[in-house]
Chain A
Amino acid sequence: MTTAPDTPPRARRGPIAPWFTTTVGTLTSIAVTMLGLLFVTFFIGRVMPIDPVLAIVGERASQSTYDQVYRQLGLDQPLIVQFAYYIWDVVRGDFGVSTLNARPVLEDIARVFPATLELATLGVIVGVVFGIPLGVASAVKQGTWIDHLARVVGLVGYSMPIFWLGMMGLLVFYGILGWVGGPGRLGIFYQGIVPDRTGMILVDSALAGEWEILGNAFSHIVLPASLLGYFSMAYISRMTRSFMLEQLSAEYVTTARVKGLSEWAVVWGHAFRNIRVQLITVIALSYANLLEGSVLTEIIFAWPGIGSYITTALLAADMNAVLGGTVVIGLVFICLNIFSDLLYRVFDPRAK
């Protein structure tokens, strides 16, 4: 008796893996969002009552120079064709050349974004490190002097104009006390020494082992970062307080206390654990706001970041720079959203 040789069962196409569906969905969503963002920004740029050619050639140029630049910018093409060309260039990683300084926009962004990233990251760290404990303490000690103090600190952070605080900070800590560096990212004697690897001077100087330069860079960033951190702290502490108050009035907290758990365990082990997801949203939003660039802080501290870059570009009708900056900011928001989603899953099993 012969038996038929065993043949492997025919591979059956199973259901598409969930991770694949999620990834494709996320990527599609990112692509559609970015396309929409570019579309809106592009057409707003074109209907703005600013002549981009004039912005480049200035008011003294001859008509032939004007016409030459008009054609170079492709403005003689229909709007939709201009947009199609732009999208095609962006897809290939070409954001065009800034009409303000004749450099590739991507190079400009690679220079200004790390400056903002460095500042915003330190700022949000300051905000989180001080904001969360302050918010928790304020909720736990509701109605006491600690709560009042925290609220005053928060209120000042909300209501004080940042330019005024910045100027005062510079005057006191740089002008009078000399504790920190002045406007700019680095003292003039240290410029151009450290190789530019990440564009973030703190990181680059540490990587190069240039500790003196690191110290100088830190002395320059500490004041603007603290200032941004203060505003971030005001927001985070108020939100933390609000979330904590809601949790502390919940029945499970009363049960925990009745069971004899220490106050520390009740507050940090139970109540705080339950606000982590909400806090992630607050911190992500705060970080995203800082990453957009704080124009006033950048002006006062002569900090060449993305906020002042986009503002200057917008006022000068440098639309390549505006579009490039908008794409970067859009990507920042999307990345932070994705990162927040991932953290939700870590802290809240239900989100899985």
Chain B
Amino acid sequence: MLDRFTKTALVLMVVITAIFLTGAYIGYIGGHGMEGTDAMVEEHAASTAANVEATSLVPAITDLVGEPLGFTIAGIVAGFIVGYLWTGLFRRREDA
């Protein structure tokens, strides 16, 4: 049987995932590429000046494994850290 904390976390996860999927689907059927605004504004800004171009001094993990897998790995690692510490700090004690 799931405890209250796990149930809440699962419901939140489903809601957040549903929001992402709905947003991505609406963008997809609208024909948009869902490009990031950081890159869009940066490209536009660079085009207003001479000899300015975005580069990267470090190899990006997302270039090696792709953005979906790269961000999934990052999310899982960060999620485990947050989840582990969150339950340790905030779990309601049985004797409380």
Do the two chains belong together in a single complex?
no
**A residues at B contact (CB < 8 Å):** none
Contact surface of B with A, Cβ cutoff 8 Å: none
